[in-house]
Every structure is written in C-alpha cells, then in structure tokens.
Amino acid sequence: MPPHHGGAHMGLSPMNRARLVIFNAALGPLDYRVPEGMAVEPGSVVVAPLGPRQIVGIVWEEERLPASAVPDSRLRPLIGVIPVPPLQAALRRLIEWTADYYCAPIAAVARMVLASGGALRGPATITEYRLSGGAPERMTPQRAAAIDARGGEQATIRELAGIAGVSEGVLRGLVNQGVLEPVEVDCDRPYPRAGADFAVPELSEDQAQVAGRFVVAVEERRFAPFLLDGVTGSGKTEAYFEAIAASLRLGRQTLVLLPEIALTEAFLRRFEDRFGAAPVVWHSSLKSTERRRAWRAIAAGTAQVVVGARSALFLPYRNLGLIVVDEAHEISFKQDEGVRYNARDVAVMRARFESLPVILASATPALESLQMAESGVYEKVELESRFGGAEMPSIDTVNLTEEPPERGRWLAPRLVEGMRERLARGEQSLLFLNRRGYAPLTLCRKCGYRFQCPNCTAWLVEHRLSRRLACHHCGHETAPPLACPECGEPDCMVACGPGVERIADEVAAIMPEARIAVATSDTLNSPEKAAEFVAMAEEGAIDVIVGTQLVTKGFHFPELTLVGVVDADLGLEGGDLRAAERTYQQVAQVAGRAGRGAKPGEVLIQTRHPEAPVIAALAGGDRDAFYAAETEARRHAGAPPFGRWAAIIVSSEDEAEAREAANRIGATRPVLPDVAILGPAPAPLSLLRGRYRYRLLINARRSAQVQDVIREWLGALTFPSGVRVSIDIDPYSFV
Ligand SMILES: [Zn+2]
Ligand SMILES: [Zn+2]
C-alpha cells in the first residue's frame, strides 16, 4: 500500500503514536505506534493489527478521545495508511457532535463517513460486459432473458445476473461465445461537468430576491441557516438552484438532500435542464462500483453537486460550499435504526462546523424549524405566490357522515362526479390514500380469523397486484392461503378497509374507460419505474393516479386539476404525538399537486370530522391558524420545540428477558425536577422482527441535559447479551 504524505506539513513533530477510532463498537479507541517513515495526522485512515486480524481505523486527536494509556513499549505498529484524503477537522467535530447528541458510539457515526469499502482500495479498473451484437449458438430462455435485460446495459457479470434474473453461469457462457464482450472501465472516471450558466432561467421578482440572499451567503462562505418557506409550486427549487450556481462558480461542492429516492428522478431532470449535466447521486441502492466512484469523487472534490438520501450527509466532501435540504419537514430524514439521527438537524450542524449556508426548503415546515426562525436562529425567506401566475387550488371538505359513499365503496358521490368531469375534459385526477396494498386487514369470513405477521404485532396486508400477504414492518410475505388456517374454510379471505389497490378497483368499476395508475413504493420501486410513471402522466397517458405519500410531492403534472383525499382522518388515529402536523403536511402537499398549470385546481378532502382544527385549517387555507393552534398545543404539552423527548427501547427475542431489563431500567430511573420519565410499557409494536419490545418515554424541559442523564442512568446497568437497549433522541416514531 503506497504511503500517503498528507502529514508532511506537520513539520518538526511527526506523530510517533496514534489513537484510533476503530470500527468495533465494543472496543473503544486503541493506541498504536507510528513506524519510522510513516506520516499520519488526525483524520488519516489507516490499517492496524487487532489480534491476528487487520482493521481499518481513523487517527483521532488523543486529547479528544479518552482511552486508558498504554506505554510506548507495548504499542503495536500501524500497518499502513490508506491513500485517501484524511478526514477534515470539521468533519471529525461533526462525528463527535453526532455521537454525543444521539448517544451513539463514535465508531458507528464514523462508519457512515467511510461508506464505501471499495473506495478505500486504490485506483482500479473493473471489467464490465456489454452485448457485442453476436448471437449465441443456441438460444435458451435464460439466454434470451440475459440478452434482453434492460436493453443490454453494461455492467459486471454479477450485476447483469441480478438485472436479468439469471445465474452468473448463463452469462459466462455468453462471454465464452462472444455474445458479451468485456470492457475495461476506469472506476474513477470523472463525472460530466455541470455548468453554472448552462441555462440561466428567468426568475420572478420574488424568486430573484430570495436567490440573491442565498448567493451572498454562498459567496461570503458563512454559517447561515435559511428556512425557505414557500407554497407548493412557488418555485423554491429555481431559487435554490441559483445558490448552487454560485457554489459552482466558486468551484465548491454542493450537497442536496432529498427525502426519497423516488423523487430523485424528477429532480435530476430539472437539474440537468438547468446545469447541462446530471449531479452525482448517492443512495443505498447504488451498485458498489457507483458507490466507490461517487465516494472518491466526493473526497477528491471533483463531484460538484451531490444529490442524495440522508446518508449522503456524512460523506467526506473536500470543499463543501452549500447544503440544501429539500422537503425538510419530511420524517424520512430521521433514521430509525443504528445511529438514530435526523439528517435535517445534523445538516445544520455540518454547515455550522464548516461555516456554510444551509437551506431548509419546505412548503409545510416542521414546527421546530418555524420556531427556530421565530427565535432568529434561522433566517426565514418566503415565496408567497405560485410561479407563472398559477392560482392556489380551491379546497373543500366532503363530510362522509352527510354525503356517504355507496355501500361497500369509499369515494363519495361529489368526488366521483368531479373525477367524471375531469375524465370528460381530458384532465387528470389524483386520489391520495396513505395505505399500500389492497386492504389493511384481512379476515376469514367464517370464523373471523385475522391474518397476522408471525414476527410482529401487525396485520398482514393483502397485495392483490402481486398476489401476496405482506407485513409492512418486517417484510414477511406469504402467498394468500387457499383455506383458513384456523377453521379450514376454503376461499375464505375478506378484505377490511381500503388500500390504494382497492380504491383503484373502485375507480375502474365506476369509470371503466379511465386509465388508472397505482403509485406507491411497491409499484414505483426503482428510479426507472418512477421515470416511466412520470413520463406517462406527463404525456396524458394516465387519467387517474391512486397513490400514497409518494405522490404528495415533487411531481408537476399540468393537466392534474382534481385531488381527492380519500380519508383525511386516517393520520389522526393512533397515538402519534405529531399526528396533526403530519396530516396537515401530507394533505397540504398533495393538495399542492392540483392546478399547477394554467387550469385551476380543486381539492376535495373526505372526512368524518370537518370541524377538527387541522381539517378546518386545511379547508380554510389558513395555515397560520393551524400552526398557531398546534404551537399552543405543543407548548401546553411540553412537546418539541418547547420541551424535549427521548425514548429508550428495550428489546429481546425472549419476552421475559425484555420485560425484566425494561423494569430494571424503570426501577433505577433518576428523579429530577426537569425530567419526567414514563413507562416502561410494551411498545405499540410489542413484537417486531421477532423481538419483544418495551419503551420508556422521557419528556424534559429544554434546559435539561437529557443525554447526560440517560448516559449516566444506563451506564450504571448491565444487561444479558440478548437484550438490546436503543436510545432515540428527538424520536419521530412511537411504535
Ligand atoms: Zn376461518
Ligand atoms: Zn412482520
């Protein structure tokens, strides 16, 4: 492994011992000797011996990472330095802050930075294969599948096997016959360059003013958190694109965080139209070679703009100049396993450590963000009207008690009438229901047996399109049984309640001539399928879209003039402490899909509680009233942003073991004036993926040092090895 000389500038006092963060949470930091002639500095990524093995570690400042001192004579020497740029000090501070704030091991956070094992190996090429144009001696179905797959995309043998759904052996056979030919690919070939001035848009006066403020902050390179608050369709993206252009002109990198991969496709096209080249994409389903290429370009500073899911936040940008968090209110920015961080909040911290502007963009900001703007911590910039003169849609409620749907149906007459009119005029309708599959609950018509997940406290959801019963929590799937497992009744299944597939069936029954698309994470499960859906909707090849929260944002279909919210009360059920806010955000977002072109939009909200504050605020278009009422409710409850929450989740495959551990935690709870501790109680999902779960909820005043309290409390306890204790600071999920 060639040595890295990044430490040479440290001059007269080369490090002769090094403290490492190693990727083994059980061990903590370890000290090593730096051999003669090896240059390391804090942030260097190194290889070290651990027992008989070799491990990767990051050199850290000794004084910031307490460990038991080992005398020089007993230190083992480092093996080598990995030839990647050392992690910068600001990133090391971010790692420390994240670990401290979310009560996570520093190694678990650091691991998110080194998110590509392949990137740590030096320069490389790989062999990919593409069709040569020749034909095999003998065609088999597998061979045909391998040749047809995705129009003969170029990829490695293993990836092609995955794409085509055939064995690697089939593909090797095609290589031997010359049907597939090898291509040597430089793993680190540069990305196409984006140009700040490729297609400079005509901005409205409002947009230009907002963009101007961003540009100044980018040029001054100062910590400036912006809350970009603008109604759906007001052109927030165009405004922050100008900030990206400014960052490009200065030769700096930009990170844009998006909540879902499904949104990326529409975003990529807009980006390419504006800047002439696609940005670098980062998300969990990248191929390992794409991941390596992106990571190395990010670390080298040659990736100009990176668009990614939350995990892109911890990458080692060499020269970051701007961070944008789009749809910043989205709860998918909160990670609910491993390090339970909120990417929106950590993005602001990263901007602070690196002295950068950060733009949080949303049409329905989280109350926490509005409060930060109110108190002057964030700078609020507003875009008040829709771009291009489009009007906001008219919003009305349909009281389901007064205007009920026909028996066994879910769409009220007024909504059906509206859809018929749209169909007759060649316009589009969108029905929103945040429930995947056909029905949320399935029972036996004879004995009432309910189909339940064997691993979770959850009903199995029937998916008719894919003919399966599925658990949405653990992924357990089974074919629909031919007979009731309880009473043996054949063909026994009865669907209870609607999912999107059932609504689509109802639309087909009412309007047989309508072309219907179901848009959920099941049907749009790849960027290609999402792109295909968008193209069809734009061409007018779809009359009615039935979708989950996946269709509430990002899409812009000019012919879409009617939005129907099938059940606005759904989100208000259950014990979620942010239920009202989430309902408001979802309905407001989906309503924003209506009337984005020249034609006016209409929104019908089906509800049994039109008088509920959140529904009334939506119908009245009175956002301020909603936020004011919600703010008061939160203040009264001591909920965020006025108080703080944290959760402790105890789980084990053994029910008694989980309960005993939770009770022990409960029995040793600290008694403090500014902290209330509730529980332990069985979690709403008391069985999840085969583990029994108990929860404690901590509600604290803002002044309380919650993390310190929890660390001290739990640090004094030990648990059997089968027990897992997770800490969730600022939780979003209460299941
Ligand atoms: Zn039965
Ligand atoms: Zn399950």
Q: Which two structure tokens, joined as six digits, stand for 470?
A: 């599925």
Q: Using CA atoms, how far apart are residues 346 and 97, in angstroms rounded to an integer?
A: 9
Q: Is the pLDDT of residue 78 over 90?
A: yes
Q: Within the chain, what is the greatest distance between any pair of CA atoms? A: 85
User: Residue 615: its pLDDT value, please?
Assistant: 92
DSSP structural state of residue 604: E
Backbone angle region of 169, left / alpha / beta, with phi > 0 → left and psi within -120 to 50 → alpha: alpha
The continuous run of DSSP H or E covering 213 comes out as helix 205-220
The answer to whether the beta carbons of residues 545 and 551 sit under 8 Å apart is yes
Other beta carbons within 10 Å of 490: 9
Token pair belonging to 188: 């680190």
pLDDT tens digits along 175-211: 888 888 888 888 888 999 999 999 999 999 999 999 9
Give the three-state DSSP class for 605: strand
- Cα(167)–Cα(106) distance, rounded to whole angstroms? 40
Q: How confident is the model at residue 139 (pLDDT cuts 50, 70, 90)?
A: confident
- High-pLDDT (> 70) share of the chain, %: 96
Compute the distance from residue 454 Cα to the ligand 2 centre, in Å: 6
Name the helix (H) or strand (E) containing 627: helix 623-637
Which pLDDT value is given to residue 11? Answer: 44
- Those residues whose beta carbon sits under 5 angstroms from the ion ligand 1 are 444, 446-447, 449, 484, 486-487, 489
Provide the H-helix boundaries in 26-140.
89-101, 106-113
* Nearest C-alpha neighbor of 342 from the set 330, 354, 359: 330
User: Which has the higher per-residue pLDDT, 133 or 100?
Assistant: 100
Q: Given a cut of 70, is residue 227 above it in pLDDT? A: yes
Query: How many A from CA of 483 to the centre of ligand 1?
Result: 8
State the distance from the centre of ligand 1 to the C-alpha of 494, rounded, in angstroms: 10
What's the pLDDT band for 389 if we cut at 50, 70, 90?
A: low
pLDDT of residue 170: 86
Distance (Å) from CA 472 to ligand 1 centroid: 23
SS3 state of residue 46: strand
Is the model's pLDDT at 6 over the cut of 60? Answer: no
Distance 440 CA to ligand 2 centre (A): 13
What is the spatial distance between Cα 732 and Cα 54, in angstroms, rounded to a whole number? Answer: 38
Burial (CB < 10 A; 0-12, 13-18, 19+), residue 694, is buried
Closest ligand to the CA of 493? 1
Identify the CA nearest to 614 among candidates 575, 572, 553, 566. 572
Lowest mean pLDDT among 80-84, 226-230, 556-560: 556-560
Q: In this predicted structure, what is the pLDDT of residue 670?
A: 95
Confidence band for 417, pLDDT divided at 50, 70 and 90: very high
Output the pLDDT for position 188: 86
Look at residue 687 in the predicted model and tell me its pLDDT.
Answer: 95
Q: Taking 60 as the threshold, does the pLDDT of residue 483 lie above it?
A: yes
Who's near 150: CB < 8 A, 6+ residues apart?
Answer: 163, 164
The ligand whose atoms approach the alpha carbon of 484 most closely is 1
Q: At what angle do helices 89-101 and 106-113 cross, to 10 degrees?
A: 130
Strand-pair partners of 343: none
Ligand nearest to C-alpha 691: 2
Mean pLDDT, the chain, whole residue set: 90
**For 605-619, what is each residue's pLDDT tens digit?**
999 999 988 999 999
In the predicted model, what is the mean pLDDT of residues 343-348?
98
Paired strand residues for 694: 650, 682
Query: How far is the centre of ligand 2, averaged over its atoms, from the C-alpha of 457 (Å)?
Result: 7
Q: Note residues around ion ligand 2 (Cβ under 5 angstroms).
A: 453, 455-456, 471, 473-474, 476
Lowest mean pLDDT among 165-169, 439-443, 463-467, 468-472: 165-169
Taking the CA of 690 as reference, the closest ligand is 2
- Predicted confidence at residue 12, as pLDDT, reads 47
In this prediction, residue 13 carries a pLDDT of 58
pLDDT for res 150? 55
Confidence at residue 574, expressed as pLDDT on a 0 to 100 scale: 63
- Rounded Cα distance between 170 and 162, Å, is 12
- Taking the CA of 485 as reference, the closest ligand is 1
Q: Alpha carbon 387 to chain centroid distance?
A: 27
Q: Are 714 and 104 in contact (CB under 8 A)?
A: no
DSSP 8-state code for residue 155: B
pTM of the model: 0.87
Question: Could you report the per-residue pLDDT of 551-561, keeping only the tens digit for each?
Answer: 887 778 889 99
What is the number of the ligand closest to the CA of 476?
A: 2
Quote the CA–CA distance of 101 and 111 in Å, as a whole number: 17
At 531 the pLDDT is 82
For position 521, what pLDDT does the model report?
A: 86
Ligand nearest to the CA of 473: 2
Q: For residue 66, what pLDDT is reported?
A: 85
pLDDT band at 387 (very low <50, low <70, confident <90, very high): low
Mean pLDDT throughout 228-251? 93
pLDDT tier at 3, thresholds 50, 70, 90: very low
Return the DSSP state at 85.
Answer: P
Question: What CA–CA distance (Å, rounded) separates 572 from 274?
Answer: 40
Q: Which two tokens stand for residue 619?
A: 């119908």
Share of the chain above pLDDT 90, in %: 67
Three-state SS at 134: coil
| Residues 308, 281 contacting (CB under 8 angstroms) | yes
Distance (Å) from CA 452 to ligand 2 centroid: 8
